[in-house]
């Protein structure tokens, strides 16, 4: 990246204070940034960091520009500095990443598969019969798209993504390396002392603008559909079991696991390592804190912590009391009588 401060200001619709001709070649945090780096500052509580930063230019909100003394710093004033920074990061990402172009000669595309305009397929990727790849989608090397599966327009699959049969992705979905969509759900019947597999013949539907991290598994339904709602973002190492329904705009953080047939409303957040039992309902806007174990329904808008998960204020009180137990037990223990 080589941009002047003035060019960056135009890209983010910001007001430049200071030398607009200064050249910027990178992005860094306030403390690490050098004379050719762009950085950002969110609020006036970080003014001390701004004053000591060596950054070539700093994205700041209007209150910071107003509060900061004239100290020679080059600033770009924007309403939302981090959102403005993301515009620049997208530019850097385009320059750094090499996307597949065209159809690689080693790719295997079944004659009945349908590729939209501008589709790119990387080396050794396989597209099975009756699959449909939407216009402008890009698949890196060694991906697999199963029979009758569909990708909407402008999807991006990183290397070694597996999409099994009868899986549907909407528009602009991103799936990171090692993720498997449409593996069999975990279903067995105990018969005569053995675990007999229940065939898993349902589907997976991923709606528009969903991003799924690396090494995730989203299982197909036994019957019907496992569904991920539009705008939902799933972190790395997440397990979504068969027939789970996740609403729009949810955040599912690393190592969370959601058991079969559970339902999450819109805007739900599951923090890291949350476990959700089967057939649970979590209401719109609810939040479950890190390592929460959800064994009963969570009402809409509530914050739950702990294992088993409960309302966070109740969990806090119990934790405080638990820490006091040694002291309380010490006071109530009878001392031995002298012999």
pLDDT of residue 17: 93
Per-residue pLDDT reduced to its tens digit, 27-41: 999 999 999 999 999
Q: In which band, very low, low, confident or very high, does the pLDDT at 337 lie, cut at 50, 70 and 90?
A: low
Hey, which bits of 180-309 come out as E strands? 180-183, 188-191, 194-197, 203-206, 211-212, 217-219, 225-228, 233-234, 239-240, 245-246, 251-252, 257-258, 263-264, 269-270, 275-276, 281-282, 287-288, 293-294, 303-305
- In this structure, the dihedral spanned by the alpha carbons of residues 50, 51, 53 and 57, taken in order and rounded to 10 degrees, is 60
Close Cβ partners of 276 (under 8 Å, ≥ 6 residues apart)? 256, 257, 258, 259, 262, 270, 282, 288, 294
CA distance 159 to 123: 10
In the chain, where are the structural domains located? 3-96, 108-313
Bond prior to 276 in cis (omega within 30° of 0): no
pTM for the predicted model, two decimal places = 0.88
The sign of the CA dihedral 35, 37, 43, 46 is negative
pLDDT of residue 334: 55
pLDDT at 92 over 90: no
Give me the catalytic one of 176, 195, 242, 279.
242
Per-residue pLDDT reduced to its tens digit, 15-74: 999 999 999 999 999 999 999 999 999 888 878 888 888 999 999 999 988 887 657 789
Q: At which residue do the structure tokens 């599951």 appear?
A: 270
Q: Does CATH place domain 3-96 in 3.40.1390.10?
A: yes
Mean pLDDT of 318-332: 81
Per-residue pLDDT reduced to its tens digit, 173-229: 999 999 999 999 999 999 999 999 999 999 999 999 999 999 999 999 999 999 999
CATH superfamily of 108-313: Hexapeptide repeat proteins (2.160.10.10)
Q: What is the mean pLDDT of the chain?
A: 93
Instruction: Give Cα 45 distance to the centre of its chain.
Output: 28
Q: Within a 13 Å sphere around the CA of 147, how many CA atoms are in the beta-carbon half? A: 1
Question: Is 242 among the residues known to form the active site?
Answer: yes
Higher pLDDT, 325 or 304: 304
């Amino acid at each position: 990246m080589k941009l002047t401060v003035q060019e960056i200001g135009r890209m983010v619709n910001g007001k430049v204070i200071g030398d607009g001709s200064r050249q910027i070649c990178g992005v860094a945090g306030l403390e690490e940034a050098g004379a050719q780096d762009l950085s950002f500052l969110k609020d006036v509580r970080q003014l001390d960091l701004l004053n000591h930063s060596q950054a070539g230019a700093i994205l700041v909100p209007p209150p910071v520009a107003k509060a900061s003394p004239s100290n020679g710093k080059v600033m770009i004033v924007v309403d939302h500095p981090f959102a403005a920074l993301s515009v620049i990061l997208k530019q850097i990402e385009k320059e750094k990443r090499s996307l597949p172009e065209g159809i690689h000669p080693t790719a295997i595309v079944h004659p009945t598969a349908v590729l939209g305009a501008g589709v790119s397929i990387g080396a050794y990727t396989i597209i099975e019969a009756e699959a449909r790849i939407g216009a402008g989608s890009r698949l890196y090397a060694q991906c697999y798209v199963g029979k009758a599966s569909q990708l909407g327009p402008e999807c991006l699959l990183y290397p070694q993504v597996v999409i099994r049969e009868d899986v549907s992705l909407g528009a602009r979905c991103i799936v990171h390396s090692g993720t498997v969509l449409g593996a069999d759900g975990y279903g067995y019947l105990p018969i005569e002392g053995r675990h007999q597999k229940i065939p898993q013949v349902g589907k997976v539907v991923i709606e528009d603008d969903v991003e799924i991290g690396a090494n995730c598994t989203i299982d197909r339904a036994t019957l019907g559909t496992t569904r991920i709602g539009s705008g939902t973002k799933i972190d790395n190492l997440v397990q979504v079991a068969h027939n789970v329904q996740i609403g729009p705009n949810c955040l599912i953080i690393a190592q969370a696991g959601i058991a079969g047939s559970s339902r999450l409303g819109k805007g739900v957040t599951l923090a890291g390592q949350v476990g959700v039992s089967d057939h649970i309902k979590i209401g719109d806007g609810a939040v479950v804190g890190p390592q929460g174990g959800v064994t009963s329904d969570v009402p809409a808008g509530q914050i739950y912590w702990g294992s088993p998960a409960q309302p966070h204020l109740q969990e806090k009180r119990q934790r405080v009391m638990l820490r006091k137990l040694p002291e309380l037990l010490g006071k109530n223990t009878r001392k031995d009588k002298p012999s």
